Structure 1
């Protein structure tokens, strides 16, 4: 059975320890999926060339954030790597990138473990962590995902972990529930153009409303393009909410 291609917002690291409608959704979603392995492209691993983790055994935890409760730094998730699947991923990515590096040391960052701990709490699925290359164009990142489509036929899930609207300077920490109109407008445009398979979507910086406000830096949107390429279908919205006014918790399958 073909495994899914997903883009999931990883929101705040607090998702790992605080229950919400989104964490309930993630738990339910995980119970519905049974992949043989997962390739997770995380916005918190940025490199100049595509890089794939090749871990024999258990990943170390990376707590790549500060200022959160001590409880969050005590979370552990015993994700298992796979050298064999890492080689397969590298092989497919080399169809579109002459250089695909292997990393045998890096641990699992919170862009990966926050989501995975909710989706697969038993940590019983091999994980291949992969970097994003923010300097690449959206179309190049789409093609990177495209190269991994054959793995989905073998039961490998492709997961992009990031955020479509991710502007930490614009967050309203009073936790008002009403979403900012500019954040909603950007996501509306992104989903509409992706559904239409319009080339305009790859030029969102010039064409999308509030693009600079929604995407001040590229790394959190980069996993969206990869997941889109891995699926190349119209996005099906699985969940959509906004935290702190404009932090998008958008989850889509392709």
Structure 2
């Protein structure tokens, strides 16, 4: 039976998520056991931003990048030795170019923590090829959605497309210890889940004006843009599933979302 892979938006929170899995890590581990095994993974995170031109990692053995400082030594000893997939990287570039994006392969780039930290929980064996794609800046939510649309055909080839970052990301209010979730964090997360369930794309793309506390939840937009990429790759007909992750450090909402075509949607599309 032909498998159309779902798409994922994963909240990876702080780098310490790698060694403090909590509810979100456990949920991702269970999800990795449940999903059809992908032939490859394509992941986008804002920890690799490029100016206008999209770059696509094409290393056959991408290195694990520890792109953070001041954290416990255990984090720097972690490695995620997944293979790369140069052929998929070339194919992704071709699809992006066909959709009007400037794109080129990068044979030197490894996997930043926005890619390998959530994958450490989702696929801990690191035995599935991974290709990382940069986030071109500047880009709007609508532009990010179109970028996801351009990559959508890869789902038919058993490629799991992941947008990775954080449902809320206000580090100005970051608290070192774990504590209760800030009210604006839960309000923003609830609104987002409601709009995704309703497939209300217009409101989602206009979240900056419509979502409660949007500018407080995201003082800058780049950390939510991977959500729109995952949503664009999901297509116009999808079923959303909330993967609950709780709230880390009081301000980082750790919920993730799975977008899948139900059998009814697949028959309609056919």
Instruction: Tell me by how many angstroms 1:229 deviates.
Output: 0.6
In structure 2, distance between residues paired with 1:24 and 1:10: 13
Pick from 70, 74, 83 the counterpart of residue 67 of structure 1.
70
Among 178, 181, 191, the alignment partner of 1:179 is 181
8 Å contact from structure 1 (residues 180, 246) kept in 2: yes
Which whole-Å CA distance do the structure 1 matches of 2:8 and 2:29 have between them? Answer: 15
Does structure 2 conserve the Cα–Cα contact (< 8 Å) formed by 1:133 and 1:222?
no
Aligned structure 1 segments of 4 or more residues deviating by more than 3 angstroms = none
Distance 1:135 1:15, change over 3 A: same
When normalised by structure 2's length, the TM-score is: 0.89
Contact 1:85 1:128 in 2 (8 A): yes
Q: Is the counterpart of residue 104 in structure 1 residue 104 in structure 2?
A: no
Q: CA deviation at 1:191?
A: 2.5
Aligned twin of 1:2: 4
CA distance in 1, matches of 2:174, 2:98: 39
Query: Contact conserved, 1:63 with 1:73, CA < 8 A, in 2?
Result: yes
The C-alpha deviation readout for 1:75-112, integer Å capped at 9, x for no partner, is 01112111111111111122323311211111111111
Q: Which of residues 252, 258, 267 in structure 2 aligns to 1:253?
A: 258
2:55 to 28, 41, 51: 51
Counterpart in the other structure of 2:155? 152
Give CA-to-partner distance per residue, 1:203-250, whole Å, 9 cap, x none.
221222111100112221111000011113353202231111120101
Structure 1 unaligned spans of 5+ = none
Distance in 2 (alpha carbons) for counterparts of 1:192 and 1:15: 26
**Contact preservation (8 Å) 1:133, 1:219:** no
**CA-based RMSD:** 1.5
Contact 1:42 1:112 in 2 (8 A): yes
